[in-house]
A and B are shown apart, each in its own frame.
Chain A
Amino acid sequence: MKLASLLKAAKPETDIYVFYTDLRAFGKGFEEYYKKSQKMGIKFVRGKPSHFTENPFTKQISITVEDTLSRQVIESDFDLVVLANGMGLSKASDPIANFLKLAKSEDGFFKEAHPKYKPVDTLVEGVFIAGTAQGPKDIPDTVAQASAAAARVMVTLAQKEFKIDPILAFVDQNKCDGCEKCLENCPKNAIVMNGNGKAEVVEALCLGCGSCIASCPTEALDLHAYTSDQLYAQIDAILLNKPEGEKRILVFADNNCTYRVADALGVRKMKYTAETRIMRMPSSGRVTPNLIMYAFKKGADTVLIGDCEINNLPVPWTSKVGKENIEVAKKRLEEAGVQGDRIFFEEFNAGALQRFIDTVTNISETMKGLQPITSEVKEGLCQRK
């Protein structure tokens, strides 16, 4: 529209047609601009050109397009054709994205930490985005977003000390035997070996996802606020005094999606089967095979690991670890001679309320056909008492 207006102003004798699929003049003053272009005599035709041909000798370009409003096909010659392509993120951004480990959204632009509440933050702390790096936009919006980003940078720089989330992994130096298995199980490479040949967590890098914990054979690794002792105690409490003949689904709910779904269900007073018991986990990666086995030992009949859909995961790595852990647990159940499908995995988004209900209802149905695990078998499932 801008190019057309400029051309028309410079050369009023030019006959200009703008072909469009949909025209949305949404910003301040845009509608006026559109009207002005129409007043100048620029013709807007609703239809997407299907075919461009160039006469090999005269180089004249011909366009075939349906005018969808009059239901006629226009086939006509033009002296100049300007194509308006959709905007995309420059390929030059790839090295920056790789270096800073920035995520991109489905449209190919850099992803913001939250589209509504954190529109200029990225998932990497201290890195901010503005303008067309985040998505197509005009100059006023770019300036507004850039100002916001600058303000966020100021906030960061003004701090004398940088506060981080206290949910961090730690290593019990007495238990660690220096096997180094955990090193490759951290998406941020936040675990290093110290001078004593033992593992150590670099707290400034740790995301607190907990996906390193299952890799530690000596249980030296643990996560503040979700320590193994705390989690085992929770399982004890949840399954304490389970009445004879009743069954239990233990849901390990990831904090980002599944737990929010369960929370929203409660707020809205929506009902789901009373056999369900929910435990909040930082991520599906924190659900170690030992925890799953312990749940069965203490009387759970089925276990559901609820995760986020991968696109909504702050740390996508956790999904991979979570799934690996489940496979290990399934194998251990099978080896112990436990019958039937008892471990379920489901990915939710934060709005999947009905799907959560359906999932636990289905599991409850399946559970009706399952025999209780005998106490002898239960004993052998997990070393922890």
Chain B
Amino acid sequence: MKDNIKIPYFPGCTLKTTAKNFEISAIEAGKKIGIEMVELPKWNCCGVVSSLTSDDLMKHMAPIRNFVHAEEMGEQGLVNDKRMLILCSMCFNTMKSSNKRVKGNSEDMKSINDFMYLEKDYEGTVDVVHYFELMKEIGFDKIAEKITKPLKDLKIASYYGCMLLRPKDIAIDDTEAPTIIEDFVSSVGAEPIAWDAMSRCCGSYHTVNNTDIVVNLAKGIIENARKSGAEAIITSCPLCAFNLDNRQKLILEKDPNFKTMPVFYFTQLLAIALGLEEEFIGLDGNYIDPRPLLKEKNLI
């Protein structure tokens, strides 16, 4: 195992805009646990949702174009790990699906390369890896050793959502009984609770024009977490984070008796446990302020 993993990093749109606080915590916490994230010098939108029809090759071009840049980084010696690190669950899913499709089909690969004739050809040498998977490789026990401020007594609901677990060939863990986020939660000293809604959909993009669906689903997920004894939820998807966190405003409007619950991006939790400065944790960006909870537990 390399002491310091220097890896191409694909941020995606949301971590660069409304969820910048998530990215900062990931980058800074990464430095402490031996992950140096080197952002792709050039990247484009992955398309967020993977296209599912059989005749849609062109929709896979955007993801593939990013892999070309990752390969270039490897050739230029900018990194020592040739995979591509992704934080956002949706980017992860879309990029991994497209990659799998062209790697398994030389004709598709050729069509896409022909179409991108201004770019270098994609050779199919890049694999996608999620932050959770990289931490698992480093070893959650090793990460636990680096923790300076264990999140004692903090009861966390590990929210996987859809995109890290489904479909099966994209999943980072067992589809129905995953443990990777719980293992992470334990490694930072917090207590993972067992709950049922860990992979139930948050309503995804319906948040744009059908907020009722998202309100119903998000409420159900948060209430299930509370019923199971959780004090906060963590996720790796900026869209889930928005639906579970910001949409609590709408849930409250509909049901004034609803009890809110803080939602963390997983790297925020890591950053707190590693004792990083508050500017690197970025709690200002969370809609439901988690600071009262953290103060109660003497963590800030």
Contacts and interface: CB of A to CB of B under 8 A. Distances in A.
Interface string A173-203: 0000000000000000000000000000000
Which among B194, B196, B228 has the highest number of chain A CB atoms within 10 Å?
B196
A53 interface: yes
Nearest to A55: B227
A56 interface: yes
A53 B195 CA distance: 9
B201 to A, nearest CB: 13
Interface string B254-268: 000000000000000
A156 B150 CA distance: 73
B54 to A, nearest CB: 26
Interface string B41-52: 000000000000
Which among A53, A55, A56 has the highest number of chain B CB atoms within 10 Å?
A56
Nearest to A62: B196
Interface in A44-97: 53-56
Nearest to B224: A53
A58 to B, nearest CB: 11
Contacts of B228: 56
8 contacts: A53-B196, A54-B196, A55-B227, A56-B193, A56-B194, A56-B195, A56-B228, A56-B229
Nearest to B197: A53
Contacts of B195: 56
A27 to B, nearest CB: 34
Interface in A214-267: none
A50 to B, nearest CB: 11
Contacts of B196: 53-54
Interface string B221-252: 00000011100000000000000000000000
Contacts of A54: 196
B248 to A, nearest CB: 23
A297 to B, nearest CB: 39
Contacts of B193: 56
B112 to A, nearest CB: 32
Contacts of A55: 227
Interface string B187-208: 0000001111000000000000
Nearest to B196: A53
A203 to B, nearest CB: 49
Given A54-B196, A56-B229, 6 more contacts: A53-B196, A55-B227, A56-B193, A56-B194, A56-B195, A56-B228
Nearest to A53: B196
Interface in B161-198: 193-196
Contacts of A56: 193-195, 228-229
B226 to A, nearest CB: 12
Nearest to B193: A56
Nearest to A52: B196
A343 B229 CA distance: 70
Interface in A101-140: none
A45 B224 CA distance: 28
A45 to B, nearest CB: 22
A31 to B, nearest CB: 36
A88 B284 CA distance: 56
Per CB-CB distance, the 3 closest pairs between chain A and chain B, nearest first, are: A53-B196, A56-B228, A56-B194
A55 B228 CA distance: 8
A56 B194 CA distance: 7
